[in-house]
Chains A and B, each alone.
Chain A
């Protein structure tokens, strides 16, 4: 840290007026149209559901700790369904865009708010309604279809499938409205001098994400409506008994749900770009390549859904085309990894907590990406499909990738959101626990997949017992890591040091305003005259003196 800085030696103080204290009372939050408060409400919600989904995961791993049943088989099926639905629809899709995105998109852009603030609040409440519907339906209605709702199983099970898919439909609406808001904001509310190529990479990522949300979510919406209608009236299009085609459902479903993978991961790419730039004290290597690779992923991501269906009975020709195209999503992703690595080259690297998360992300996400290659390749996919290998692969991308980037981003922006610092030592202990726990849990599952363990199995043959036990123990370490982080955040709120405006030496616009920011973000509309990571024009670093 720059001990030489004069500002650093002065103890920072809270600004007189900021978004947290501007108005008070329950109504001032419940009816707020301030994107920052909406972002905080999303943050609290998604973290709550992350906790719920995580506890469900621990229960799933508990069942698998040893051969033999601990719960009923029905209960286990409900547990993994709830884990999947909660983590997918309630946590990971809204995680970064709706919380950090809502908070920082206008701040990084230099705008006073998103384009449609009331719509923003509306979409938050839609999310809340959808979440309540989903949770109630799954607890009361005991849904056991898995989060993929494959027909015809989802048509025959006597559980509350209709309400659950309607919940996902409602949640999709929230996702669409948020994406729409972000796109219009970026198009229309850029301040003077903020050209497209002066936007921070997090904004490029959010923009790409929003495009995917808008193009893919409606198809999921109609698919789920049709599934509900099929159950209620017997439309006949998904039910083979009525002359329908159950594989059509898979096509419709993955047309959304594969791009949805990029709805999850692309914002994480954005966060990592910010972290790597700030803590390497230099601009992101090949900025334009990184910015445009997000867009490329968004586009190519729409033409690869069939790689979830290589053994579904689709034609060999379709398999060939989807396999070929899938490999091309790997390219822009690989380019990003290379560019981030090159950003470290001759940087001035600060190993602060968020940077540690960024490095863990890079290491884990690279495994997640590379283990996708055997899945994209037809011959190997045939054997690995629907095994623990797939479970391990997507957890490396979603958990080891997105969730680690999310927590890293949260640590990075925590001082800006709350106006308080956190204990970096404790944070780093949590990070190490998470890293060890995560890799213990999920690397083991690659081996399970290779050995022949199918997924969604309540019980297993004795030969898998050792690896399963190892994986379950890993899940406890991982859980402990998150518990440490949670305690750290709570402690920071209670008695964290007052944060300066720019504790990390960030160069993007959110660091030019106070921590926490002014209710209208900036006292004067910012004017932009340089690229996002230009250190010459950057705001002064006001961090604490290095210990």
Chain B
């Protein structure tokens, strides 16, 4: 990369320098007559750039091959891109996260990705790697973190309203901390009070991307004060927002669409335990 940068800067300074110098040196009134062509010179400045760009190509291709092929000992994490959040699943431990990828340091990680709706793209700027995430096809991208810390990842394929908010963090931790984290998260949380659990899930499942809790409509309707009220649906019917309605809206979002909103919400079927579901419902009930 530095090689290309220096080369580019060199040529830019050369061209700009020559243009400005000639413009000054041969300004208005020069009587000398320059040559109309010079075949040797022209061939030279065709051949030299050709050699230079081929060298850039070879370097780029070699590096690209290491970027696209994960080493054999890589840890797989399954990724689903959806409007507008990322879900991660650690296959051996049954742990799921949203918009947060926790990985051990010095361990190659391979993301096995697919999309449940439109094309997204997983960009890990700190690890200089990126791959599109397609519906109906699996793609992979890998990286190895060499230091602990928190690094952003982004969706870089435009995917609609909240494309800009489809981002999260890679948390690189020590191997021990990673195992502790896995331990903690593979157990079902049975102690946190329900509304608090719901509030946590509301953040970690990125519900806030589309639903506000302050009364302003966003991509989806606001959840403030929704419980117990009558909701007007897109097909003209109305429905009482009780526990059963909230439950259905989380598991089968397409069943009853609120008037004025597009049916874009993904289903959370299979991603929440009964207790977590109850937690979310309790949390929504608490938003008055």
A–B interface present (Cβ within 8 A): yes
Q: Which residues of A contact B (CB under 8 A)?
A: 73-74, 77, 144-146, 150, 152-153, 156-158, 240-241, 246-247, 280, 282-283, 285-289, 311-313, 316, 319-320, 323-324, 327-328, 330-331, 334-335, 337-339, 341-351, 359, 362-363, 366-367, 370-371, 373-374, 376-383, 385-387, 452, 454-461
Are A241 and B130 touching (Cβ within 8 A)? no
Interface residues of B (CB under 8 A from A): 1, 4-5, 7-8, 11-12, 15-16, 18-20, 22-23, 26-38, 41-42, 45-46, 49-50, 53-54, 56-57, 59-65, 67-68, 117-119, 121, 123, 125-126, 128-132, 134-137, 139, 152, 154-165, 219, 262
Known contacts A383-B125, A454-B154; decide if A370 and B61 are in contact (CB<8 Å).
no
Residues of B within 8 A of A348 (CB): 26, 28-31
Question: Closest residue of chain B to A74, judged by CB?
Answer: B161
Given contacts A366-B16, A374-B4, contact A349 B129 (CB under 8 A): no
Q: Are A311 and B119 in contact (CB under 8 A)?
A: no
B160 & A349 in contact (Cβ 8 Å cutoff): no
How far is A261 from B68 in the complex, measured between Cα atoms in Å? 28
Residues of B within 8 A of A387 (CB): 123, 156
B135 near A241 with CB under 8 A, answer yes
Residue from A287, A331, A379 in contact with B50 in the complex, judged by beta carbons closer than 8 Å: A331
CA distance A458 to B46 in the complex (A): 43
In the assembled complex, 13 residue pairs joining A and B whose CB atoms fall closer than 8 Å, in A order, are A146-B158, A158-B262, A283-B36, A313-B134, A319-B64, A344-B18, A344-B19, A347-B22, A349-B28, A376-B57, A377-B59, A386-B156, A459-B165
Consensus secondary structure, chain A interface:
helix
Contact of B33 with A282 in the complex, beta carbons under 8 Å? yes
B22 touches A341 (CB 8 A): yes
Q: Which residues of B contact A385 (CB under 8 A)?
A: 130, 156
Q: Is the CB of B56 within 8 A of A349?
A: no
Residues of A within 8 A of B19 (CB): 341, 344, 359, 362-363
**Contact status A378-B33, CB under 8 Å:** no
Whether the pair A334, B49 counts as a contact (CB closer than 8 A) is yes
Is there contact, CB below 8 Å, between B123 and A456? no
Please name the residue on chain A nearest to B48 by beta carbon: A334
Contact B30 A349 (CB under 8 A): yes
In the complex, what residues of B have CB within 8 A of residue A455's CB?
156, 158
Contact of A459 among B33, B139, B154, B164 (CB under 8 A): B164
Given known pairs A246-B134, A286-B37, the reply for A351 and B23 (CB within 8 Å) is yes
Q: Flag if A312 contacts B60 (CB, 8 Å).
A: no
A434 vs B262: C-alpha distance when bound (angstroms): 42
| Contact A363–B16 (Cβ < 8 Å) | yes
CA distance A280 to B157 in the complex (A): 46
Contacts of B29 in A (CB 8 A): 348
Does A240 lie within 8 Å of B135, measured CB to CB? yes
The answer to whether B15 and A341 have CB atoms under 8 Å apart is yes
**With A150-B119, A341-B22, A386-B123: A456-B158 Cβ-Cβ less than 8 Å:** yes
- Please, which residues of chain A bring their CB within 8 A of the CB of B49? 330-331, 334
Cα separation A530 to B108 with both chains bound (whole Å) = 68
List the B side residues contacting A381 at CB < 8 Å.
60
* Distance A409 CA – B62 CA, assembled complex (angstroms): 43
What is the CA–CA distance of A265 and B22 in the complex, to the nearest angstrom?
Answer: 25
Smallest Cβ-Cβ distance to A309: which chain B residue: B132
B117 contact set on A, CB distance < 8 A: 152, 156
Complexed CA–CA distance, A387 and B129 (Å) = 12
Cα distance, A121 to B219, chains bound together (Å):
46
Enumerate chain A residues within 8 angstroms of B135, measured Cβ to Cβ: 152, 240-241, 246
Which A residue sits closest to B46, measured CB to CB? A335
Could you tell me if B37 and A289 are in contact, using CB atoms closer than 8 angstroms?
yes
Whether the pair B132, A311 counts as a contact (CB closer than 8 A) is: yes
Contact of A289 with B42 in the complex, beta carbons under 8 Å: yes
A152/B118 in contact, CB under 8 A: yes
| Contact A379/B11 with A287-B37, A316-B68, A335-B45 known, Cβ cut-off 8 Å | no
Which one, A286, A311, A359, A459, contacts B130 given CB within 8 A? A311
Interfacial chain A residues near B15, Cβ < 8 Å:
337, 341, 362-363, 366
Contact: A334 with B64, CB < 8 Å?
Answer: no
Please determine whether B125 and A452 come into contact, CB atoms closer than 8 angstroms.
yes
CB neighbours (8 Å) of A377 from chain B are 4, 56-57, 59-60
- For B18, B32, B54, B158, which residue has the most chain A Cβ atoms within 10 angstroms? B158
Q: What separation, in Å, do the CA atoms of A311 and B54 have in the docked complex? A: 21
Would A346 and B53 be within 8 Å (CB), given that A313-B131, A335-B46 are in contact? no
In the complex, the answer to whether A153 meets B160 with C-beta atoms within 8 Å is yes
Interchain CB contact under 8 A, A73 and B64 = no
**In the complex the two chains form, what is the Cα distance from A328 to B53 in whole Å?**
8
Using A327-B56, A347-B30 as known contacts, list a sample of 16 further A-B pairs with CB atoms less than 8 Å apart, ordered by residue number in A: A73-B164, A316-B68, A319-B64, A323-B57, A341-B15, A346-B32, A346-B33, A347-B34, A348-B31, A349-B22, A349-B23, A379-B61, A385-B130, A387-B156, A454-B156, A459-B164
